[in-house]
Amino acid sequence: MSEISLVLGNGKSRKDLDLAPYKHIYGCNLAYQEDIDFEWIVATDPAVQHQIYREYGGNMLFLGWEPVPSEMAVAMQAMDTDFTSNEYSPFGCVISGDMNGRHMTYLRKHDNCLSVSESQIPFDMASGAMAMWDAAERGFTTIYLAGFGDVDHLHNQSLMDENGQRLARWEKERSQVIEKYEEIEWIYL
């Protein structure tokens, strides 16, 4: 296994980065829409997870992506039709809700989605920190980081919340991962 990995945040600062030298590339959230050969797309936001699962065929790593039997989802949807949903399948369904709505995603027979439970991670993490954590846990000894800390987003989403705290929280999470895995060489590009 290569000892080097690249974790891409979605800040515009990574837009023209040469990806050719990197074999193991993590992307976060909507990065799956780009023409990049990702090893993993990582997402912690429920609405984004459902979108990625429905539109992406590569490897996915999601926080709290726990399926229930499809029949249970059908019964829930019959009681409350206020869900976004894809086409029914008998292979299970993930049901999530957040301030962006309620979502039901029926699963494919064979998928490449791994779920990490909140009890497995050492502290609360957004997608970028979780990608860093996973790369560290997989044994990469040098991890490059690009597209983090930017105010401008590649996918036209606001990175600033109403209190301006989101970027500071994400920086704190990245610092916690780097501190936890101090033996790894972390390099910001």
pLDDT tens-place string over residues 22-32 = 999 999 999 99
**Mean pLDDT over the full length of the chain:** 90
pLDDT band at 128 (very low <50, low <70, confident <90, very high): very high
122 vs 166 pLDDT, higher one = 122
Whole-number Å distance between alpha carbons of 52 and 49:
5
Give residue 77's pLDDT: 76
Residue 34 CB burial class (10 angstroms; 0-12, 13-18, ≥19) = middle
Percent of the chain residues topping a pLDDT of 70: 92
Strand order in the sheet with 101-106: 67-68, 93-98, 101-106, 84-85
Q: Which helix (H) or strand (E) holds 126?
A: none
Q: How confident is the model over 4-25, as a mean pLDDT?
A: 93
Cβ neighbours of residue 53 closer than 8 Å, sequence gap 6 or more: 60, 62, 65, 94, 105, 107, 111, 113
Structural domains in the chain, CATH included, are 4-44+125-188 (3.40.50), 67-106 (no CATH)
Q: Beta 60-63 vs 84-85: how paired, if at all?
A: unpaired
The whole-model pTM stands at: 0.90
Residue 161: pLDDT over 70: no
Model pLDDT for residues 172-188, shown as the tens digit of each residue: 999 999 999 999 999 99
